Structure formats: structure tokens, C-alpha cells
Amino acid sequence: MMRRILPLALLLLAAPAAQAQQNAQEPAAGAPAVQAIAPEVGAGRGGTGGGQQPVTTEPQAPTGSPTPEASQTTPPQPPTPVTPIPTPAPFTDRGQSDAAELELRRALRGGMIEGAVTIPNQTAAVLIQPEGRDWRVFRNSTLGWTGAIAVLGMLAALALFYLLKGTTQIESGRSGRSILRYGGLERANHWMVATSFVLLGLSGLNLSYGRYLLRPLIGAEAFTSLTFWGQAVHQYLSFPFTIGLAVMLAVWLRENLPTRTDLAWLRAGGPMARGHPPAGKFNAGQKLLFWFVIGGGALVAASGYLLMFPFTLTDIAGQQWAHMAHGIMAMLMLAAILAHIYIGTLGTEGAFEGMSSGRVDYHYAKEHHRLWVEQEMAKAQEVVAPPARARSAGAD
């Protein structure tokens, strides 16, 4: 009996120990089946102790050298070309194309190249304007040649005319009597306009030709000062010039309206006619000059004020047109006024006295403005002569 119980008791005591040993040998849940004591290194991924290395009888090749089979069977291949990735078109921070793309598009359409500005002056955003090239050609070439031809051509023509004809004398000689031709207001306004126009013309010529003609003679510093003050004179004297033109129009409008007498004066040859064709206070030539000065002066004044106050009423294209109109008309007016000055001084005897003292010689007035003299004499007779039905004092 004791022999059977003893082995059974030993078996019961050994069962828990065997179970504990089995639990210790099994891996925990989620753990790898094989755990190495040392970190895995080398090609065997098992460390140096405990891991089984593959056994082979083939000779091992040095590390990094190709195997004989690979070198014999596979020829060296050239590198495969990689397709380049196209770079997208550049964009600004506003999501627009860059300036070069905009310039190309606008240039194909003939438009302006503009950017974006945050200042109030939006015209500063204009980068390229194709019409500006045409204006630059006008400013640097066309205006200079036009002015030179108009002004120098007129001076040459007047000099030739003076050499061929000389001063037109009073055929009857001076009479010793005079007649009032211009009043005080007419003369004062005329000299205001004349003085303003001369200074405007000289300062304008300096802006166009000064750097070529004056600067080499007087030096850069003196030319800079002259141009600065000339530009100020050019701007401020535009106001009395414009006001004077308005007064001229109001005072002399009636005497400068065209009549049939003007056609007869022109048919007779005008200033080249033999003798003196009949004329009123102003002949046809003087009337043409009057309307040319009024119209041209209005255009010069309007375009000049647009240039003085830029971009107030026009854009950059309007500014360019204003400058071209201002320059061309100013040159033509200079040529016309040169002819007017010649006729009123060297060209005709007794003409300058009308604007210096207001009175002209009676024979001069009768030869050049016969109809006007007749009208003035008729007015004088009406003032001097007594009434047709005047009665003596005390007559009843």
C-alpha cells in the first residue's frame, strides 16, 4: 500500500514545477518567437551567439565585387534618362503672370504695360507706353526741326524782303498832322500781350534749344539757373498773356470781322500790291493775323495749362498730345509775330507810332487805311458842325 501511495505523491508534487518550467519557456503574447540576448548584427540577423549561419560549400566573393556570373551574363547598362519636370510659369503674390508675360501680351495688342501701385497717383503704374516712343521722337527731333524751319525760315524771308523792297515810305510825305489810332487801353493791353509773348517765346526756345546752343557758351551752372528762372517765367506770364488775348478779342472784335473790302484788298495783291488798296482800320492781312493769334493763343494757353497741371483732365496720352500741340503752335506763332514786328517797325514808315504814342500821321493813315480815315472824319464833322436847324439865340 505504501509503495503505491509514495510514487503518486511524488507525481503530484512534480506537476506544478513542470508547469512553471513550461510557462517560463513559452514567449509572452505579442513577443517575438525568438529573442536574442545580444542586438542583431550582421547578415545573419541573430547575433554571434546562438544563431545558425547558412552553410555553403561555394567560395565566397569579396564584399562589394560583382559575382562572376553577373559580370559574364549582364552587360553594363547606360543610365536611364529621367524626364525633366517642367517648371510652372512664375506667378506673383497676386496670382498674376509676371511682368515679362504681361509685356508680351500688351505689346502684341499695342497697349500699355501697367503695374499696381498703392499711392494716389495711379499714373505711376504705367511702365511702358508704346505711344511714348513716338512722342520722344517728336520731342527730340520733329519739334526742333519744325521750329528751326519756321523761325529761321521767316527771318530769312523777311531779310530778303527788306533787301528787295526796303521800308515802305509815306508816299505823300509827313503832313504834320496826326490822328488818334489807338486809345490807352488798347496800347496798354497790346504791350502786356507783346511783352508776355516775347518772354514766353524766349524761355520756350531755351527749353527746346538751350542745351545745344546756350549751355556750351555759358556753362552748366549758369544754364541751370537760367533755365530754372525761365521755366518760372514761362508759367507765370501765361496768365497775363491769356487775359490780354481775351481783352483783345473784346476790344477789336468788331473791327476784325471780314468784309467785302478785305476780298478786294487780297485781289489787289495785299502787301505786294502797287499803291494802297482801300482798307478799314485793319486790312485783310492784319485781320488774318488777329484771328491766327486769337485762335493759336487759345490753343497754346489751353495746352500749356494741361501741362502745368498734369493728369488733371487727361491721361498720359492726352499729356503727350498737349505737348505736341503746344510746341508746334508756339513755333508757328513765333514765326507769325516776327512778321508782325517787322511790318510794324522796319517794314512800314509811321506804323510804330500808333502803338508808341497812339497817334499816327494823317497821310500814313489815309494811304494805308483810307476807309477808316473817312469814317473818323465823318464822326469829327458831326461833332464839330452845328445842327442843321440851329437857330440864333433869341430868335423866335
Q: Rounded distance, CA 174 to CA 168, Å?
A: 13
Give the domain range for residue 356.
Answer: 177-384
User: For the segment 317-359, what is each residue's pLDDT rounded down to a tens digit?
Assistant: 899 999 999 999 999 999 999 999 999 999 999 999 999 999 9
Q: Rounded distance, CA 394 to CA 227, Å?
A: 77
pLDDT at 51 over 70: no
In degrees, rounded to 5, the angle at the alpha carbon of residue 21 between the alpha carbons of residues 17 and 26 is: 150
User: For the segment 249-292, what is each residue's pLDDT rounded down to a tens digit?
Assistant: 999 999 999 999 999 999 988 877 777 889 999 999 999 999 99
31-40, 175-184, 386-395: the lowest-pLDDT one = 31-40
78 assigned to some structural domain: no
Q: How many domains does the chain have?
A: 1
Predicted model pTM: 0.68
Position 385 confidence tier, pLDDT thresholds 50, 70, 90 = low
Q: What contacts 24+ positions apart, CB below 8 Å, involve 178-182?
A: 178/359, 178/360, 178/361, 178/362, 179/359, 179/360, 179/361, 179/362, 179/365, 179/373, 179/376, 180/358, 180/359, 181/281, 181/354, 181/358, 181/359, 181/360, 181/365, 182/354, 182/355, 182/358
Position 96 confidence tier, pLDDT thresholds 50, 70, 90 = low
User: For the segment 68-82, what is each residue's pLDDT rounded down to a tens digit?
Assistant: 554 556 677 777 777
Comparing C-alpha atoms, which of 138, 149, 68 is closest to residue 325?
138
| CATH number assigned to the domain comprising residue 285 | 1.20.950.20
Position 50 confidence tier, pLDDT thresholds 50, 70, 90 = very low
What is the predicted pLDDT for the residue at 324? 95
38 assigned to some structural domain: no
51 assigned to some structural domain: no
Longest dimension (CA), the chain: 205
318 assigned to some structural domain: yes
What is the predicted pLDDT for the residue at 314? 87
User: For the segment 142-197, what is each residue's pLDDT rounded down to a tens digit?
Assistant: 999 999 999 999 999 999 999 988 899 998 899 999 999 999 999 999 999 999 99
% of the chain surpassing 70 pLDDT: 70
